[in-house]
Amino acid sequence: ADKLLEVRDLQVSFFTPAGEVKAVNGISYDVNYNEVMGVVGESGSGKSVEAYSIIGLLQNPGKVIGGSITFEGQDVLAKTPAEMVNFRGNEVAMIFQNPMTCLNPVYTIGNQLMEALKAHDKNISKEEAQKRAMEMLEEVGINNVEKRMKQYPHELSGGMRQRVMIAMGLICHPKLLIADEPTTALDVTIQAQILELMKKLQKTNQMGIIFITHNLGVVAEICDKVSVMYAGKMVEQGPVDDIFYAPGHPYTRGLLRSMPRVDAESYERLIPIEGTPVDMLNPPEGCPFAPRCESAMKICLQKMPPYVELGDNHRAACWLCVQEQMKAQKAAEKNN
Ligand code: SF4
Ligand code: MG
């Protein structure tokens, strides 16, 4: 598969008056063209922070302090602010949970879509921009586009605004779309429609997608692979089927257990698993999940577990997995 994005050992810290918070603490992954990677984890696990780093939108006092981000061979972290603006307009787009963070309340929908196009291509004619904006609105399932073009964001329903935001994100044909809980605020039917739409547009544009969510129903629906984050670490990563049917990390298993049954209500939010999330100012030594883990052993409290390969492109950072691997190796040696 062709690699679009490569993230290696990324570290992002927030330097707060109370101390350093390692919001993202050494994570690595790839996203290929035409691939959807889900990022799951609780709030505060670092899943949004790592995405904001890719597009250069980290808020103060957040700082990338280590690692690399490579996009089609370009070093993203070396880009100047002006190059980043260009990068965001042309190559990556981001859609958020709240459309009002992306839509400007004082401009019409048509105006905003056409401006996005003009920023991308200065030579585009007004007629052409208008035509493309209306086509894009139709593509995201909006009817009556001539009327919609003249409306302001507040005149539209929540679901409609979400679609407009997706249209804004996709109108310049980004190679990578970062979607941060883009459907959480919507009702189930509209959520399902928007996911369908994203899948369709992804195929036609060969786009890579990073889909950040804490909803495993959505992950099952749309993702090819999954990264599970806990306390700034990527604790498990693998193809979507491996994550659902052969999870290695106790935290992933906990997430799956807390997932509502996959039926009509499968888009419901996760029920939180027991125990308190990590105090990120004073993270425990060793495995960050240890205080909540029913399988925790002595070593878990002392040393961060290494990654163990559990299958093709499937790995988890857990001492239990290390133990099981050693057992399997010993058994194999005996048989030889
Ligand atoms: Fe639990 Fe230990 Fe694995 Fe951490 S390393 S998830 S504490 S078994
Ligand atoms: Mg978030």
| Closest ligand 1 atom, residue 251 Cα | 6
Q: Which of 336, 239, 335, 250 is nearest to 287 (CA)?
A: 250
Query: What is the homologous superfamily of the domain 3-91+174-335 according to CATH?
Result: P-loop containing nucleotide triphosphate hydrolases (3.40.50.300)
pLDDT at 79 over 80: yes
Atom of ligand 1 nearest to the CA of 301: 7
| 13-22, 105-114, 215-224, 247-256: least confident range | 215-224
Q: What is the pLDDT of residues 125-146, one digit of tens each?
A: 999 999 999 999 988 888 999 9
Condensed to tens digits (0 to 9), the pLDDT of residues 184-233 reads: 666 777 777 778 878 887 888 889 999 998 788 888 888 999 999 999 99
More reliable by pLDDT, 319 or 60: 319
**Most ligand 1 atoms within 8 A of CB, residue of 251, 295, 304, 308 to mutate:** 295
State the distance from the centre of ligand 1 to the C-alpha of 304, rounded, in angstroms: 9
Calculate what percentage of the chain has a pLDDT beyond 70. 93
Mean pLDDT of 321-329: 93
pLDDT of residue 141: 82
Task: Name the DSSP class of 196.
Answer: H
Per residue in 261-307, pLDDT tens? 544 444 444 455 677 777 888 887 899 999 899 899 999 999 999 99
Closest CA to 58 of 84, 20, 32: 84
Question: Is 150's pLDDT higher than 60?
Answer: yes
By most ligand atoms within 8 Å of CB, the mutation choice from 320, 322, 324, 325 for ligand 1 is 320
Write out the DSSP string of 88-111: HHHTEEEE-S-GGGTS-TTS-HHH
pLDDT of residue 120: 81
For the residues 83-90, what does the mean pLDDT come to? Answer: 87
Q: For residue 212, which of 95, 85, 64, 81 has the smallest C-alpha distance?
A: 95
What residue's CA is closest to ligand 1, atom 7? 290
What are the start-end ranges of the H helices in 153-222?
A: 158-170, 188-205, 216-222
- Report percent pLDDT > 90 for the chain: 55
**47 CA to centre of ligand 2 in angstroms:** 6
Q: Write down the pLDDT at residue 261.
A: 52
Query: What's the 180 CA to ligand 2 centre distance in angstroms?
Result: 7
Atom of ligand 1 nearest to the CA of 305: 5
The predicted model gives 148-157 an average pLDDT of 94
Higher per-residue pLDDT: 300 or 162 = 300
Contact 41, 229 (CB under 8 A): yes
Pocket of ligand 1, candidates 230, 235, 253, 289: which has the most ligand atoms within 8 Å of its Cβ, to mutate?
Answer: 289
Cβ burial of 32 (10 Å; 0-12, 13-18, 19+) is middle
